Amino acid sequence: MKFVSITSIEIERELSDLDRFALDFIKILKKHTPYVIVSGYVSILLGRARVSEDIDVIIPKINFLTFQSLTLDLKKNKFYCLNAEKEQDIFEYLTEDLAIRFAKQGTVIPNIELKWVKNKFDTLALKKTITVALHKEKLIITHLELQIAFKEAVLKSPKDKEDANHLRIITKEYIDDTLIQQYKEQLHEFFY
């Protein structure tokens, strides 16, 4: 892993099945909407050895026609929605601020947990990003200070704390500890 800049990382390693799954889905998604990958897969992508059943992705709110185009493209590429079959029903989940999940046909795991922007932190995650170059492909992840702060201040499970610690260790020369603390305070005020 090599930091090209604070907004760009290059990774040269053998792709895992989860990486290939992420790249396949994102290749379709990015044709229809901006996106950002958050949560556990960020740590895995950046070298943490652990298993994950899903990849969390945030997108801005999109209209039904854009969503319909996206779901048709996903179906053509052998993805299906675990929540419902009809596009209108799937779209309704999003409008109710619920996540929807997509997997490859014939499987349930791994899956993509796709959700709309719900609050100012999701908006920030979508705006302030890092591009990760992985085998001539690119993935967009949230900036690491917000990722670390969210895992330490909101999620707080042992797995999330280990993810945050991993990110702190591998990025210690690039992250802003003061910004992490500011985010933690803001997150605490917002969620508690």
Q: Block means of pLDDT (10 residues each) for the chain, length 192 residues?
A: 94 95 98 98 96 96 98 98 96 97 97 97 97 95 97 96 97 95 96 84
Residue range of the domain that includes 125: 2-143
**Residue 153 in tokens:** 């201040």
User: Is residue 116 situated within a structural domain?
Assistant: yes
C-alpha to C-alpha distance for 192 and 160, rounded to whole angstroms: 18
- Quote the number of domains for the chain: 1
What confidence score (pLDDT) does residue 135 get? 86
Place of tokens 């330490």: 152
What confidence score (pLDDT) does residue 111 get? 98
What confidence score (pLDDT) does residue 14 get? 93
What confidence score (pLDDT) does residue 3 get? 93
Of 71, 78, 59, 187, give the one whose Cα is nearest residue 123: 59
User: Is residue 47 situated within a structural domain?
Assistant: yes
- Whole-Å CA distances, 80 to 23, 32, 102, 108: 16, 17, 5, 9
The model's pTM: 0.96
**Residue 131 in tokens:** 């591009």
User: Is residue 157 situated within a structural domain?
Assistant: no
CATH number at 127 reads 3.30.460
Residue 9's beta-bridge partner residues? 3, 132
C-alpha to C-alpha distance for 36 and 124, rounded to whole angstroms: 10
User: Is residue 149 situated within a structural domain?
Assistant: no
User: Is residue 161 situated within a structural domain?
Assistant: no
What confidence score (pLDDT) does residue 123 get? 98
CA dihedral angle for residue 145, residue 150, residue 151, residue 157, rounded to 10 degrees: 170
User: Is residue 48 situated within a structural domain?
Assistant: yes
